[in-house]
Amino acid sequence: MDTEKKRGLTTSTLKIIAIVLMFIDHFAVVFEEQLVGAGEFGGMLQEMMRTVARIAFPLFAFMIAIGATYTKNIYKYMLRLLAFAFISEVPFDLAFNGQVFETGYQNVFFTLFLGLFCIFVYKKLREHNLEIVAFLLLLIVAYTAETLLKTDYGAMGVICIFLFYIFLQTKTPVRQLGIVLACLLISFILEFSTYLEPVMYVSGRSGNLYHADITARFNLSEFFALAAAPFALLHNGEKGKKINRWFFYAFYPAHLLLLWGAHAILFH
């Protein structure tokens, strides 16, 4: 029996890389005031942390597509994502808004669930040659994620999860090109959504909002999401070292609570 391991990155390795980068990103967000306030070096460090962490979401999206391809029970898979979406909402709101519950922006598990849901519908409709209906539903779900639910990564996140799945079903040359294109799409949308983001100017004395405008904030940091492509292309199709899957689910709300708690204790 050939027991030689394939070269490349296993699914477990990709997951570990993604959660480490996610932790770095969220640390930079929660402790932004302290890092930026530490001087020029602190500001540069905070920006570097956020830039490198752009790799994380494309890897999570890619792994959802892999899971949808090989899962034995997609219903349970969707249920797990939806359950942790609700479990993670309070830690998410505490970490990023300082509130127990805030409806203006929802955590990334909702995006992952909606992406998987679109894949599930596509697989069902494909059996009846109704793929076009699935693509229309994808646009509706993406619009809902962006404008109504306001989930992390929104419409772009849902669409990219779906695209990763579609390209994973193709043969090697097309699959590799598709992975690169999906990462490039994430980069472009992130960059230009940042470029057009309304910037609020706040009075330093009173803290009251006194001006809002559309400000050009073009930089190349969001294009770093494209750097996720080599990691995805190096995936060798193996699960890798066996790690309890609940660890990866629980890490998201747990690390948000840890960051919020540390910030609250240290800086109130």
First to last CA, the chain: 59
Q: Is residue 170 part of a domain?
A: yes
Looking at the domain assignment, is residue 6 inside a domain?
A: no
- Tell me if 137 is assigned to some domain: yes
- Tally of structural domains, the chain: 1
Provide φ and ψ at 103, rounded to 5°.
Answer: -95, 0
* pTM of the complete model: 0.86
Q: What's the pLDDT at 172?
A: 80
**What is the per-residue pLDDT for 187?**
75
Residue 4 located in a structural domain: no
Give the SS3 label for residue 212. Answer: strand
Tokens read off for 45? 């460090």
Provide the β-strand partners of residue 153.
none
| 214 or 182, greater pLDDT | 182
SS3 79: helix
Single out the residue of 267, 257, 254, 247 nearest to residue 96, CA to CA: 257
Domain that holds residue 87: 11-267
Among 29-38, 159-168, 183-192, the minimum mean pLDDT is found in 183-192
Residue 2 domain-assigned (yes or no): no
193-230 in b/e form (b: 16+ CB < 10 A) is eeeeeeeeeeeeeeeeeeeeeeeeeeeebbbbbbebbe
117 located within any domain: yes
Q: Is the pLDDT of residue 181 over 80?
A: yes
Q: Let me know the angle formed at the C-alpha of 118 by 123 and 103, rounded to the nearest 5 degrees.
A: 160
pLDDT at 221 over 80: no
Distance CA 23, CA 30 (A): 10
How confident is the model at residue 237, as a pLDDT? 87
Cross-strand partners of 201 = 211
Tally the C-alpha atoms within 13 A of residue 198's C-alpha that lie toward its C-beta. 6
What mean pLDDT, rounded, does the chain reach?
85
Beta bridge pairs of residue 89: none
User: What backbone phi and psi angles, to 5 degrees, belong to 214?
Assistant: -90, 120
H or E stretch covering 185: helix 172-195
220 pLDDT band, cuts 50/70/90, is low
Task: Assess whether pLDDT exceeds 80 at residue 121.
Answer: yes
Locate 150 and state its tokens. 């306001």
DSSP 197-255: -EEEEE-TTT--EEEEEE-----SGGGGGGGHHHHHHTB-S---S---HHHHHHHHHHH
Spatial distance between the Cα atoms of 173 and 177, rounded to a whole number of angstroms: 6
One-letter amino acid at 136 equals: L
